[in-house]
A and B are shown apart, each in its own frame.
Chain A
Amino acid sequence: MSDYTSDYTIVGKRMPRVDSRAKVMGKAKFTADLKLPGMLVGKIKRSPYAHARILNIDTSKAEALPGVKAIVTGKETKGVKWGVFAYTRDQQFIQIEKVRYIGDEVAGVAAVDEDTALKALDLIEVTYEELPPVFDPMEAMVSETELIHEDFPNNINVHVNIDTGNVDENFEKAYYIREDTYVAPEESYFQAEPYAVAARFDHEDCLEVWCPNGGPHMKSKPLSNAFKLPLHKVKVKKIAIGGAFGGRSEICPVDYICALLAKKTKRPVRIQFTREENTIATRQGHAMITTHKTGVDKDGRVLARETTCYMDGGAYSSTGPIATSVPFLSMEQAYRMESVRYNGYRIYTNKPIRGMIRTHGRGFACGLDTQLDMIADHLGIDPVEMRLRNSRQPGEYTSTKSYVDSCAMDETIHKAVEKSGFKEKWGKLPPYHGIGIGTNSVQTGFPMGIRGGSQSFIKFNEDGEATVMSGVVDNGQGNDNMLVQIAAEELGLLPEDIHLVSADTETTSSDPGSYSQVSTFVGGHAVKIAAQNCREKLFEVASKLLKVEPDKLAAKNRLIFVKDDPGSKRCKASKSIPIKKVVRISLLNFNSVNAEGGYWPKVDMKREWVKNPYGQMCEAFSFGTTIVEVKVDPDTGQVEVLEATAAQDVGYGINPLVLEGQFEGALTMGGQGGMLTEYHEWKDGRCINPTMLDYKLPLACDMPKINTIIVESIDPKGPYGAKEAGMSIAMSAAQGYSAAVSNAIGVYMDSFPLTPDKILAAIKGKKAQAEKKTSKNNAVN
Chain B
Amino acid sequence: MRLPRFDYLGPETLDQTLDLLATHKDDAKILAGGTDLLVRMKKGLLKPKTLISLKALNELSYINKKDGCIKIGARTSIADIIASDLIQKKAKALFQACEKIGAITIQHDRGTIGGNILQDNRCHHYNQSDFHRSGRQACHKDGGKICYAREEADRCNSTCQSDGATALMTLNAKIILARKGGERTMDLADFYTTDGIMPFAMESHELLKEIIIPIGGAQSAYKRLAYRSAIDYPIVCAGVLLKLSDTQKNEIDDVRIVVGAMGRSPLFLAQASSSLKGKKLSDTVAFKRAADIAMDNASTFAVHNVGATLEYRCAMVSQMVFQALEQAALAARE
Contact = CB atoms under 8 A, between A and B. Distances in A.
Contacts of B311: 757
B231 to A, nearest CB: 7
B136 A636 contact: no
A228 to B, nearest CB: 33
B307 A636 contact: no
A681 B310 CA distance: 13
Contact of B125 (A48, A118, A276, A683): A683
A676 to B, nearest CB: 8
Interface string B286-309: 000000000000000000000111
Contact of A635 (B228, B233, B319): B319
Interface stretch (A74-82, A498-506, A690-698): A690-698
A696 B228 contact: yes
A689 B307 CA distance: 9
Contact of A276 (B124, B129, B319): B129
Given A49-B135, A118-B2, A699 B124 contact: no
A324 to B, nearest CB: 30
Given A677-B228, A693-B231, A688 B124 contact: yes
B248 interface: no
Given A683-B148, A688-B125, A757 B228 contact: no
A164 interface: no
Interface residues of A, number: 33
A496 interface: no
B2 A757 contact: no
Given A115-B2, A276-B131, A684-B136, A694 B229 contact: no
A638 B229 CA distance: 11
B201 interface: no
Contact of A48 (B131, B228, B233): B131
A274 interface: yes
Q: Give the size category of B's interface with A.
A: 20 to 34
B145 interface: no
Interface string A615-638: 000000000000000000001111
Interface in B219-261: 225, 227-233
Contacts of B136: 48, 684, 686
A9 interface: no
A688 B132 CA distance: 9
Contacts of A684: 136
Contact of A699 (B1, B2, B228): B228
Given A46-B131, A694-B307, A681 B124 contact: yes
A760 interface: yes
B1 A274 contact: yes
B175 to A, nearest CB: 28
B315 interface: yes
A72 interface: no
B134 interface: yes
Nearest to A114: B2
A699 B231 contact: yes
A276 B134 CA distance: 14
B316 interface: yes
A25 interface: no
Nearest to A47: B135
Contacts of B132: 276, 686, 690
Interface in B200-230: 225, 227-230
A333 B230 CA distance: 39
A646 B145 CA distance: 53
A753 B2 CA distance: 34
A12 to B, nearest CB: 37
A205 interface: no
Nearest to A702: B229
Interface in A41-57: 46-49
Contact of A274 (B124, B129, B233, B316): B129
Interface string A252-285: 0000000000000000000000101000000000
A102 interface: yes
Given A46-B131, A48-B135, A683-B148, A699 B227 contact: no
Scoring B124, B227, B309, B316 by chain A CB atoms within 10 A of each residue's CB, the highest score goes to B227
A756 B2 contact: no
Interface in B46-99: none
B277 to A, nearest CB: 26
Contacts of A693: 231-233
A573 interface: no
Interface in B94-134: 124-125, 128-129, 131-132, 134
A701 B131 contact: no
A707 interface: no
Contacts of A181: none
Contacts of A49: 135
A760 B231 CA distance: 23
A76 to B, nearest CB: 23
A677 B232 CA distance: 12
Contacts of B319: 635-636
Contacts of A757: 308-309, 311-312
Nearest to A275: B1
Contact of A701 (B124, B225, B230): B230
Given A701-B230, A756-B308, A760-B312, A636 B131 contact: no
A756 B125 contact: no
A755 interface: yes
B308 A755 contact: yes
A698 B226 CA distance: 12
Contacts of B225: 636, 638
Interface string B133-161: 01110000000000010000000000000
A757 B228 CA distance: 14
A681 B309 CA distance: 11
Contacts of B309: 757
Most A CB contacts (10 A, CB to CB) among B131, B308, B319 go to: B131
A699 B131 CA distance: 28
Interface string A694-712: 1010110110000000000
Contacts of B312: 637, 756-757, 760
B85 to A, nearest CB: 25
Contacts of B308: 755-757
A525 to B, nearest CB: 41
B135 A102 contact: yes
A699 B148 contact: no
Given A276-B132, A689-B307, A696 B227 contact: yes
Contacts of A694: 124, 307
Contacts of A760: 312, 315
Nearest to B316: A636
Nearest to A50: B135
Nearest to A759: B312
Contacts of A274: 1, 129
Interface string A83-119: 0000000000000000000100000000000110010
Contacts of B128: 688
Interface string A733-770: 00000000000000000000001110010000000000
Interface in A651-706: 677, 681, 683-684, 686, 688-690, 693-694, 696, 698-699, 701-702
A760 B307 CA distance: 16
Contacts of B131: 46, 48, 276
Nearest to A635: B319
Contacts of B228: 677, 696, 698-699, 702
A126 to B, nearest CB: 10
Interface in A112-152: 114-115, 118
B227 to A, nearest CB: 4
Given A690-B132, A757-B308, A760-B312, 8 more contacts: A48-B136, A102-B135, A115-B2, A677-B227, A684-B136, A688-B125, A696-B227, A699-B229
The 8 closest A-B pairs by CB, nearest first: A48-B135, A757-B312, A48-B134, A696-B227, A757-B309, A688-B124, A635-B319, A677-B227
7 contacts: A48-B131, A637-B312, A684-B136, A688-B128, A694-B124, A756-B308, A757-B311
